[in-house]
Amino acid sequence: MFNTVFSMRVFALFLFAALIAPLGAGQAFAAQEFKYAIDDSPLDVTLPDDQEETEAVKQFHETGKNLYEGDEAAIAEGKEVYNETCQVCHGAEAEGRMCPSLTDDNYAYPRVAEGDVGMFEVIYGGATGAMRSFKDRVSQDQILKVIAYVRTLQ
């Protein structure tokens, strides 16, 4: 009798686990979708072997949330990278020079208006005109820091 009751309880437990497992699995493994700004085709954001997957990059890939927003140290680093790579075209305060302003709501690509994922896609994947891909010039972690810095200017 004990074995039958025990076996039924174990079976019920496994059945319950099998039924609820798919409910959480989609959330745990769902990843943010990235697209090229120009044509909305899939943008591969797989990290190259020489780049470290920081917690910020990992979370951004999974959720689209930039962990560096509000992080003063990361914002300061983002400002340094911005000054080295972005200000020539976008201006010292991202006000726009020969390229668009990054401080207003007048975006050339609709996904940029949707948030940090859109801005990341333009920086990482490139766009039309002078906006080339920066994926081989700065790391994904640095891009997230630049975005956090630019958000402080808006």
- Judged by DSSP in three states, 127 sits in coil
Instruction: Phi first, then psi: give them for residue 83, nearest 5 degrees.
Output: -65, -35
Asked if residue 22 has pLDDT above 60, the reply is: no
* Tokens encoding 21: 């497992």
Place 97 in a pLDDT band, splitting at 50, 70 and 90: confident
Distances from the Cα of 58 to the Cαs of 65, 139, 140, in angstroms? 10, 13, 10
Asked if residue 40 has pLDDT above 50, the reply is: yes
Q: Which residue is it, tokens 């200017």?
A: 153
In this prediction, residue 111 carries a pLDDT of 87
> Distance (Å, rounded) from C-alpha 19 to C-alpha 123?
42
Higher pLDDT, residue 65 or 129: 65
Q: Which numeric CATH code is attached to 31-153?
A: 1.10.760.10
Asked if residue 11 has pLDDT above 50, the reply is: yes
Q: Give the mean model confidence (pLDDT) for residues 65-82.
A: 99
Asked if residue 46 has pLDDT above 80, the reply is: yes
Say how many C-beta atoms besides its own lie within 10 A of residue 31's C-beta: 10
> For the stretch 33-51, what's the b/e string if a residue is b when 16 or more beta carbons lie within 10 angstroms of its beta carbon?
ebbbbeeeeebebeeeeee
In this prediction, residue 95 carries a pLDDT of 95
Asked if residue 34 has pLDDT above 60, the reply is: yes
Beta strands in 77-140 (DSSP E): none
